[in-house]
């Protein structure tokens, strides 16, 4: 039924499972920088072109080795990428269009493997380190993956998928190559026999380059399919209009390369700018602050909860203030993954002087599509559609709402949602618009204000209440370290507002505190939004990408 594409790679599995054309979002390439040639290999564009244009000796990737900064230049990275690509093609026998699962922490080998897969015209399916055999099997089955490259310390869960006696056996997976490993047969050993000569496969701009599974919280994971062109387009949108990096910038941060937020921020954006990136395998807020100081990082990417904890640590008023946190090098900070509460923005600014750049992105859209620069912040807003994207707030019938009305966020631009063989395509894309599942409001000046995930809106006694608004309010109280707000089923009101609160050290969750917090919210926002129930907890459930798992809070509340 499918017609072969003129430039089809030998294995057309992923292309054949794209949604039918009428279910695609409208793609827009309105800017001059978004006019791409018909043939484009994203790894060649990011790496080979940097070397060819004379940047081979510039630093590309920094890593801490025994606490000391170690660097790989663009030329060194290219040599390593070429040799891995040779292993994939010559030893593993892979052909363009085959899928390769990648499993590793953020480090230079993981980055090199990703680039090698793309350069060889294969399809990268990067997975987050915390995923278990169950989730890996779902992805392997869905994307029909035959080969994996895995960081040795993470071997266990993926090895389970090759065991025919395991319930997580994934029969298509034939071979796993392990890296970060000194043993015989490791990728490091295999590459040592290779010449380092490898010409990038001449892919079409719209050949599939990667399948990113959504970090969705429930149900079967959805694979979002992205082309070589999409990787470059994400680099030519948000970074160009909001971040404005230069060659001397040093990026650092927490999002995994397996999350498209991290793929951009930790690898593709720095490379597109010929800048460098610091890859650290495990970061806490404390270690991220130390990393910024040690590597003199200039740009940081992380989630709101990290900025909040970093602000607390870096504040000079904090009794635990660590004089090692020298943040003088830091110039720009990007927050995404969930809404940035204004309280966090203000605390971080007070501690560091930096105005965070907030941006909403999605795995389906590849990266950020609404954001702002530090100069154009509007309190409480995510920003405006970035150049290259259009956005509007729609009602239930897909009609644009007037300013000031809460509705569904709809976006379109050079990238967009294409699920791999999934009926849910029909709910994400309607009439050419991508519907992200977020409730938003646009003001008269065109600024977009996040309200909540559409299915997280709380309806209490007929009122619509956005949990994040109540969270933002609670976070401005001096006793509150973190909080999460959900709707709890209630016979009389339908739902009531319930807050889970993590208190700062020295505060106690008793009745007096509950009364204090309730009164505080009633004074700051419309009183009907106040949390009728407050539960004090040690920590909140979060995904590996820093997102609050509200469904877990709801389960906890129901139990
Ligand atoms: C939420 C935000 C408010 C929103 C992502 C930047 O998060 C990313 O991708 P996911 O697929 O989740 C998408 C959903 O997350 N969200 C993200 N950023 C914000 N809500 N303010 C924000 N700034 O519900 C969105 O629909 O995991 C973020 C770049 C790439 C990404 N993949």
CA of 337 from ligand 1 middle (Å) equals 4
pTM: 0.96
Structural domains in the chain, CATH included, are 13-58+71-235 (3.40.50.12780), 457-558 (3.30.300.30)
CA of 171 from ligand 1 middle (Å) equals 33
CA of 200 from ligand 1 middle (Å) equals 32
CA of 300 from ligand 1 middle (Å) equals 17
pLDDT by 10-residue block (mean), the chain, 559 residues:
63 97 97 97 98 98 91 98 98 98 97 98 96 94 98 96 97 97 89 97 98 78 97 98 98 97 98 98 94 96 96 82 84 97 96 97 98 97 98 97 97 98 96 97 98 93 92 96 95 94 95 97 94 97 90 90
Alpha helix (H) ranges present in 56-214?
Answer: 74-86, 108-119, 133-143, 155-160, 187-192
- Residue of 337, 369, 382, 410 to mutate, ligand 1, most atoms within 8 A of C-beta: 337
Cβ–ligand 1 distance for 338 under 6 Å, the answer yes
Q: Please give the pLDDT value at position 545.
A: 86
Q: Please give the pLDDT value at position 315.
A: 85
Cβ–ligand 1 distance for 11 under 6 Å, the answer no
Block residue for tokens 């539960």: 535
| Tens digits of residue pLDDT in 14-45 | 999 999 999 999 999 999 999 999 999 999 99
CA distance 225 to 274: 26
Choose among 357, 366, 360: nearest CA to 413.
Answer: 366
Tokens linked to 141: 């089955």
First to last CA, the chain: 49
Tokens linked to 489: 């089923």
CA of 362 from ligand 1 middle (Å) equals 5
Alpha helix (H) ranges present in 353-456?
Answer: 425-428
CA of 388 from ligand 1 middle (Å) equals 18
Cβ–ligand 1 distance for 234 under 6 Å, the answer no
Cβ–ligand 1 distance for 429 under 6 Å, the answer no
Q: Please give the pLDDT value at position 558.
A: 86
Across 201-331, the runs of DSSP E, i.e. the strands, are 208-213, 223-227, 250-253, 276-278, 299-302
Cβ–ligand 1 distance for 382 under 6 Å, the answer yes
61: β partners: 72, 277
Residue 179 three-state SS:
strand
Cβ–ligand 1 distance for 472 under 6 Å, the answer no
């Amino acid at each position: 039924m499918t017609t072969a594409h003129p430039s089809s790679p030998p294995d057309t599995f992923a292309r054949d499972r794209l949604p039918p054309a009428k279910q695609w979002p409208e793609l827009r390439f309105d800017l001059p920088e978004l006019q791409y040639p018909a043939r484009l290999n994203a790894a060649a564009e990011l790496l080979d072109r940097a070397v060819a244009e004379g940047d081979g000796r510039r630093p590309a990737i920094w890593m801490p080795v025994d606490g000391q900064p170690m660097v790989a230049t663009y030329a060194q990275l290219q040599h390593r990428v070429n040799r891995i690509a040779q292993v994939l093609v010559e030893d593993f026998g892979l052909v363009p269009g085959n899928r390769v699962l990648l499993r590793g922490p953020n480090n230079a080998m993981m980055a090199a493997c990703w680039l090698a897969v793309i350069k060889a015209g294969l399809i990268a399916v990067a997975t987050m380190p915390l995923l278990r055999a169950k989730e890996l099997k779902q992805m392997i089955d869905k994307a029909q993956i035959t080969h994996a490259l895995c960081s040795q310390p993470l071997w266990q869960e993926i090895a389970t998928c090759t065991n025919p006696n395991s319930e997580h056996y994934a029969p298509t997976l034939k071979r796993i190559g392990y890296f970060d490993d000194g043993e015989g047969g490791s990728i490091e050993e295999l590459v040592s026999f290779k010449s380092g000569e490898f010409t990038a496969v001449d892919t079409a701009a719209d050949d599939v380059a990667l399948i990113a599974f959504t970090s969705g919280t429930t149900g079967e994971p959805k694979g979002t399919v992205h082309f070589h062109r999409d990787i470059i387009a994400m680099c030519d949108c948000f970074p160009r209009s909001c971040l404005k990096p230069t060659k001397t910038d040093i990026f650092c941060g927490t999002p995994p390369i397996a999350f498209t937020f991290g793929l951009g921020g930790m690898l593709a954006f720095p490379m597109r700018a010929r800048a460098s990136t610091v890859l650290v395998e495990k970061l806490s807020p404390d270690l991220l602050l130390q990393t910024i100081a040690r590597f003199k990082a200039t740009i940081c990417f992380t989630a709101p909860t990290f900025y909040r904890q970093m602000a607390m640590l870096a504040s000079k008023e904090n009794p635990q203030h660590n004089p090692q946190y020298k943040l003088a090098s830091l110039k720009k900070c990007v927050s995404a993954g969930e809404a940035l509460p204004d309280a966090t923005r203000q605390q971080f600014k007070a501690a560091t002087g930096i105005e965070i750049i907030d941006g909403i992105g999605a795995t389906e859209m590849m990266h950020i599509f609404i954001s702002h620069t530090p100069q154009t912040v509007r309190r409480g807003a995510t920003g405006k559609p970035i150049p290259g994207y259009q956005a509007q707030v729609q009602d239930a019938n897909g009609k644009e709402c007037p300013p000031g009305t809460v509705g569904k966020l709809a976006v379109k631009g050079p990238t967009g949602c294409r699920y791999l063989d999934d009926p849910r395509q029909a709910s994400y894309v309607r009439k050419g618009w991508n519907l992200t599942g977020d409730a938003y409001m646009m003001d008269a000046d065109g600024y977009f204000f996040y309200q909540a995930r559409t299915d997280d809106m709380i309806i209490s006694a007929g009122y619509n209440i956005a949990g994040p608004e109540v969270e933002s309010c609670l976070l401005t109280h001096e006793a509150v370290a973190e909080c999460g707000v959900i709707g709890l089923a209630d016979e009389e009101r339908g739902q009531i507002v319930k807050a889970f609160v993590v208190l700062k050290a020295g505060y106690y969750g008793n009745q007096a505190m509950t009364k204090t917090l309730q009164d505080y919210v009633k004074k700051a926002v419309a009183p009907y939004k106040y949390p009728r129930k407050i539960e004090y907890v040690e920590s909140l459930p979060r995904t590996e990408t820093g997102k609050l798992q509200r469904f877990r809070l709801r389960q906890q509340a129901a139990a």
